[in-house]
Structure 1
Amino acid sequence: MKIGFVGCGNMATAMISGIVKKGLVARADLIASAKSEKTLDKIGKELGIRAAADNRQAAAESDVLILAVKPVYMEEVIEEISDAIRPGTIVVTLAPGKTLKWLDATFGKPTKLVRTMPNTPALVGEGMTALCPNEFVKPEELAEVEKIFQSFGKTQVVPEPMIDVVVGVSGSSPAYVFLFIEALADAAVADGMPRAQAYEFAAQSVLGSAKMVLETGKHPGVLKDMVCSPGGTTIEAVRVLEERGLRSAVFEAAKACVKKAREM
């Protein structure tokens, strides 16, 4: 299986690193295109894969072609590569807001399409990706695409209307978590802890808490209650978070994110 990337930014780099680390395909079977000379240099020297001369070469040589470009450039890229894609090639998109219907109309011909929404924790092998295929993708082909994304995290196949919801709950949410970690560390610094140490304490706490949710199967509320001793320090902190509207702020932020994704 030959895998190509049009665009090689942070997400594509994370994906390529995961594919190589897992040994999913040989480096020689990976190719990527990019606009800037700096990125082209990274493709060869840092990632150790082939740099395409242009987007059309990446498209022509791929069994699975991943369009890792921003939504604003998607139409331009598709128009450029559409006739270079071989019959049977599976085209995977990462961009929010570009529906299967829109993609099909833009390609202008029957094309095997898989919409996906990964997130940046793929950079450390802990990504979460939603996938949604169109009617031309066979189950065994979808399974191959899933293997690609499972090389750097977990996957779930979802109905297309859920893709925008995924943007809010996992696609964009690392930013919310980073903001929380930064604020938690700032508070520790204000109380005298060195900043590097504060970031480690805060980040490890978030990592461990997330693992507890995933590995125990217990409701987050139950896990929260386990930490909150009667009359203790934790319940006092929770009281302030509730008073300041943390739960509502997160709720509204995620809904605003989904709304924006649906409008793109």
Structure 2
Amino acid sequence: MTVTLDFPELFGWESIPAAAIFAVLYSPLFVVFLYKIIHERQRVLFTMTLFCLIRVAAFTLRAISIGVTSVGEDEGVFIATEVLFSVGFFGLLYSAYTLVLDRLELCDDNHPTSTIGDILHFARNRRLFRLALVVAMILGIVGIDMTSSNPTSSTGTTLRKASAVVFLILTIVQVLQTVVLIRAEHSNKDPLRNPHVSLFFGVMALLLLVREVFTVATINDLSKANDEDLWYPLVALPEWLCAVIYTIPGLIPPKVDNPPDLPLYTQGYYQT
């Protein structure tokens, strides 16, 4: 006797409208970032365009899985949807990390003299941060694959825990780096510098932290982790708000080729 599983119901997916609304909300953001790429070919813009595209696909698949029984019983579709949600966060966090570091490198006072400051200075190794993100993403994908076929799998749950904890640690590092940036830019006396941009990074860092704290706090309770009354406001909404913040003028500095005698702040890191 073959037993078919309704994966959306099993994992707490219920609302078609909510998933459809977020697919629609991400669509104009995808267009905005795609338009920016045409004018400026920057890595961050490519990353954010891909992130929005992934979110449109993920929420569309989620809505279809809930509404179409045959699709909802397809384990492959469910795994693909969960993987898309997991992979997307990589780009969102790494883009914020790189932009904050780019601005920190222009600050005179960007290295606090403390143990935490030394740790943060070490954490500015972009390759190390990216490697940690990749490891967390792989652990999460493997864990998702295991728990989808067996929700009680201890190995799958352990891998998902490890992934969530690594993402949380990296998010905390990003929050602390952003605090250093805010302090450094607001103490700078250069009248051309626009310190308000760093405040937007602060808001983004807190939104990412809310997402990760919820993920780690509910990692042992699958029903609560997928409770849409909690998941949408604490995971889906913070991510979308972060994507919206990226569209604020000046947050992603324009890529400009400057003559050698012009200072670096003409590349968009300062308000002109």
Taking structure 2 as the reference length, what is the TM-score of the superposition?
Answer: 0.24
Higher strand share: 1
Higher normalized helix content (fraction of residues): 2
TM-score (ref. length: structure 1): 0.24
